[in-house]
Structure 1
């Protein structure tokens, strides 16, 4: 992890007064407690990728379950399939968490990115006062000017035999001229009632702890935990005609009709054939 050069006026702690730094001590006081999920919260000013850093710490035996690593800026942030994620310093929430769901069969761990999406969407809806939706499998959508736009994403990576690192990136105060692509959005552009990142991060992490506990206690069962039903209710992909682009130049076109018990998107073709598509198999999912 490389700290920012505070001597550079463009990199200073107060270089953008609309984007104050996170208060690490206050976050720890609010989140780390005996018997709770979160065991450590660290905030770094700048790093390449919080996911890469936390995977490395876990591999070295230097991170317990419930470790949260937050960056004010990521220089090599990654999305699914190693797509790049960039944003100005202190303009969003960029963090990773380490979970070790030992009580849950490994074949159900594929629900963790979807669970994280539900937790992020519900936490931000409450704390920021914005309508959120999920694009299967891992995008957070907000509405800007009547148009759905991507404001966040989730990346899951294995950390050894018993761990998973979940990375979250959410655009909070990104301005229109700062958007990396026109289809991107932010909580501020969606009319959020609050863009104070401290309470937003606490709300998301509390929501994640709640959903993770419910899912873990149910042995990872998405039906018993209520996760499958809740995800489907907030998934903007369902009910739409989509094209799933798969490896080998193969594609599946049809209506997205369900998310099955394994977290796969079920696409029904015009002939009525239903084909489940897994997140690990898909290259792109687009409107047809």
Structure 2
């Protein structure tokens, strides 16, 4: 594991050398300055706040993998935040891989111990989506849509593109411990990637969506504060997404709803229908061609794809 990134200087070095930094130096890419760990800690780690610790590392394989290992060994508790300037083995849902240039996005994980019925924990990635979308709308001026269950979409040239994703993984309780453990929630977001840097042409970034800022410091602060807000409301409501307004807010921002989709299931099975709602357990409810309403759990699908045409019935 790399050591935490040192503080950002008040101003970059002056003179010609500032424009020709040594390879691998802190200011190699002046358009992508490093995050300031101390400033972030001062702003976010406070008495009474959710965030209890915040660490920024220059590079790691996966913040989720690292934080899961620490949480399982009781090295960190609720509110620990791990941020990486670069990830070499970033993982998405179903262990899908994704990479981005150093300091081009936000790549971080948080440790949570919800203390609500475990059947409600499926709402955590949806909650993270709402928190991230509302923060980006406020700070970056970017309208971020949610694709069920864990994608963040922005509009580039009139087309919806994936700019980020969310991964929730269970912390395995230690042997002999009665509590249900916790969850490590990872968020990855493309911030300043240009068209030529996208992993696939269909991807997007805040910069390509016309964000009014690509400064990762205020963006990270806003997302973590929004996550703290929504998590607090959800937990106070005992994990009930309806009582805290989470279910309604998610539905309002979910671009999946109202569209014909194909849910690709294990074993080359497929379920087609119109995405009608997200139920109280966070499942996507499809209305099939025969009029039946079928809930689909995020853990049950391999892919969710759009389909042509409209289903009636």
Same fold by TM-score greater than 0.5: yes
Q: Which residue of 2 aligns with 1:107?
A: 119
The yes-or-no answer on 1:65 pairing with 2:78 is yes
Give the Å deviation of 1:248. Answer: 1.4
SS across alignment from 1:280:
helix
The yes-or-no answer on 1:246 pairing with 2:236 is no
Deviates more, 1:229-238 or 1:156-165: 156-165
Give the Å deviation of 1:252. Answer: 0.6
Within a 5 Å distance, the mapping from 1:107-256 to structure 2 comes to: 107-161=119-173, 162-256=181-275
Correspondent of 1:266 among 285, 297, 309: 285
Q: Which residue of 2 aligns with 1:85?
A: 98
User: What do residues 148-197 of structure 1 show as CA deviations (whole Å, max 9, x unaligned)?
Assistant: 00000000001123110000000000000000001100000000001100
Q: Distance in 1 between matches of 2:59 and 2:215?
A: 19
Stretches of structure 1 that go unaligned for 5 or more consecutive residues are none
Q: Which residue of 2 aligns with 1:47?
A: 60
Give the Å deviation of 1:64. Answer: 1.4
Give the Å deviation of 1:11. Answer: 2.7
Stretches of structure 2 that go unaligned for 5 or more consecutive residues are 5-20, 174-180, 308-313
Q: Distance in 1 between matches of 2:2 and 2:167?
A: 22
Q: Distance in 2 between matches of 1:216 and 1:274?
A: 29
SS across alignment from 2:133:
helix
Q: Distance in 1 between matches of 2:195 and 2:151?
A: 19
SS across alignment from 1:34:
coil
Q: Distance in 1 between matches of 2:246 and 2:215?
A: 28
SS across alignment from 2:153:
strand
Q: Distance in 1 between matches of 2:134 and 2:229?
A: 11
SS across alignment from 2:130:
helix
User: Which structure has the greater CA radius of gyration?
Assistant: 2
SS across alignment from 1:118:
helix
Q: Distance in 2 between matches of 1:124 and 1:62?
A: 31
Q: Distance in 2 between matches of 1:213 and 1:37?
A: 8
Q: Distance in 2 between matches of 1:267 and 1:182?
A: 29
Q: Is the 8 A contact 1:3 1:47 kept in 2?
A: no
Q: Which residue of 1 aligns with 2:15?
A: none
Give the Å deviation of 1:269. Answer: 1.2
Deviates more, 1:154-163 or 1:140-149: 154-163
Give the Å deviation of 1:3. Answer: 5.7
Q: Aligned residue pairs: how many?
A: 284
Distance 1:280 1:10, change over 3 A: farther
Alignment RMSD (CA, Å): 1.2
Give the Å deviation of 1:12. Answer: 2.4
Runs of 4+ in 1 over 3 A off after TM superposition: none
Give the Å deviation of 1:2. Answer: 3.7
SS across alignment from 2:217:
helix
Distance 1:211 1:108, change over 3 A: same
The yes-or-no answer on 1:275 pairing with 2:294 is yes
